[in-house]
Amino acid sequence: MTATLDESTPVVLDVQLRSGVAGLRGLGRAGLGPVALGRTWADPGLWSRHAAAKAVIKGSAESPRHVADAVARAAGPGVPYPGEERTIDLILEAAALDERVVAPFPAAATHLLRQKSNLAALAGEAGIAVPRTRDVATAAELRSTRLRFPFAVKSDDPVGSLSATRIVESREALDAILDRLPGDEPVVLQERLGGPLLCLAMVIDRAGDVAARFQHIAHSTWPAEAGPTARAISVAPDLDLFGRITRLLRAVGYWGLVQLDFLPGRHGLALVDANPRYYPALALATACGVNLPAAWHRVVVGAPAVAPAAYRTGVHYRWLEADVVAALRGRPGRLLRRAGGPTTGAMWHAQDPTPAALLAAVAVASRATSRVRSTIASHRPHRP
């Protein structure tokens, strides 16, 4: 590289999402001058006051070559940060194409951590429980397999056809899911776990030490059965659990940001997912005084290590859109329930209102479009 690593500029992708906007705000608040890189000029993060510069990918936002070119033009050298799963692969491929693109995580370890069927073995070696796996099979194989319901089903690949975990309670429900999957797509069936979702987020440095950590408990998710955090409260870190996660990450050779989800299981808390990216409820950590995006960038560029700091507990988080949708689908109590304490939102920020307004507008428009499509489909004449 023609420039030193510490001259690399943070570049935030996925600024059409609340996760990307939250990451952009964290970097901006730390004075790191992030570049917002959008798909179109309508992406909300491009209009954030925290974006020191902004640009749009020329060409396909799904092309590693176009992403690499955009990062190099906007920042060169630049460190691109993802806000969703598919962007992780784009970043790793773009970094392999252009030395001016600096990946914010190690490629091999990141692949290991994200593969669902790998997670059980990795967790077991670190003394972490996982849900019991019922089966790992292709969609075609599951059609003829005798199964015991209910269970959770998810794509084995982090960017598979199932964008989220589904809870399946009958053969008919499973067949409806399989109808939408390629026959050769591997899926994982796991025991269904209930109870509150416990979420940990941490940044681990290249030496395997914790640079930042945060923990919250989700009181509700959306979709309710298996979805991201909709309401939550910040809690003190479980140091023993963080210690075990640190051992797992060291063993894999991972460094950077990772967010992990746990559910109560038969043998204690069970690890159900690991996400090395900005995540939807990231705004809660920032509101509590833990700037995970800034800590991540410090690790990437090799800045001096900083010990994890204490943070505010008892702060509430609310994803209002989820509660509105739940109310429209017959659960009005979720919308009416008050937090009862200091609260931060998934989108709104008084000092950065424009992205929040645009995110809300996009959410309303997408819901309206989905409803119109559903109505058209239901009135389409049946063709034998």
For residue 108, give the nearest of 96, 120, 98 by alpha carbon: 96
Mean pLDDT in residue range 169-176: 94
For residue 269, count other CB atoms closer than 10 A to its CB. Answer: 19
Domains of the chain: residue spans and CATH: 5-104 (3.40.50.720), 132-190 (3.30.1490.20), 194-347 (3.30.470.20)
For residue 304, count other CB atoms closer than 10 A to its CB. Answer: 5
Encoding tokens for residue 299? Answer: 């690790």
Is residue 305 within 8 A of residue 108, CB to CB? The reply is no
Residue 382: the pLDDT is 42
Sheet containing 197-204: give its strands across.
268-275, 256-265, 197-204, 210-221, 229-234, 316-318, 343-345
Is residue 168 within 8 A of residue 153, CB to CB? The reply is yes
Instruction: Name the strand (E) or helix (H) holding 217.
Output: strand 210-221
**What percentage of residues in the chain have a pLDDT greater than 70?**
92
Instruction: Supply the DSSP symbol for 7.
Output: G
CA distance 347 to 344: 9
3-state secondary structure 120-134: HHHHHHCCCECCCEE
Residue 307 identity:
A
Residue 245: the pLDDT is 96
Residue 348: the pLDDT is 81
The strand pair at 133-138 and 197-204 is best described as unpaired
Residue 6: the pLDDT is 67
Mean pLDDT in residue range 243-258: 96
Residue 51: the pLDDT is 97
For the ranges 30-34, 79-83, 262-266, the lowest mean pLDDT is seen at 262-266
Encoding tokens for residue 384? Answer: 């034998």
Instruction: Name the strand (E) or helix (H) holding 19.
Output: helix 18-29
CA distance 290 to 304: 17
Residue ranges of alpha helices (H) inside 208-352 are 239-252, 282-287, 292-301, 320-328, 332-336
Instruction: Supply the DSSP symbol for 221.
Output: E
Residue 323: the pLDDT is 76
Q: Tell me how far CA of residue 42 lies from CA of 35, 55, 84, 348, in angstroms.
A: 16, 11, 18, 17
Buried residues in 313-336 as b, exposed as e (16+ CB within 10 A): eebbbbbbbbbbbbeeeeeeebee
Is residue 89 within 8 A of residue 111, CB to CB? The reply is no
**Which tens digits make up the pLDDT trace of 28-68?**
999 999 999 999 999 999 999 999 999 999 999 999 999 99
For the ranges 100-104, 262-266, 306-310, 318-322, the lowest mean pLDDT is seen at 318-322
- Angle (nearest 5°) at CA 18 between 16 and 21: 75
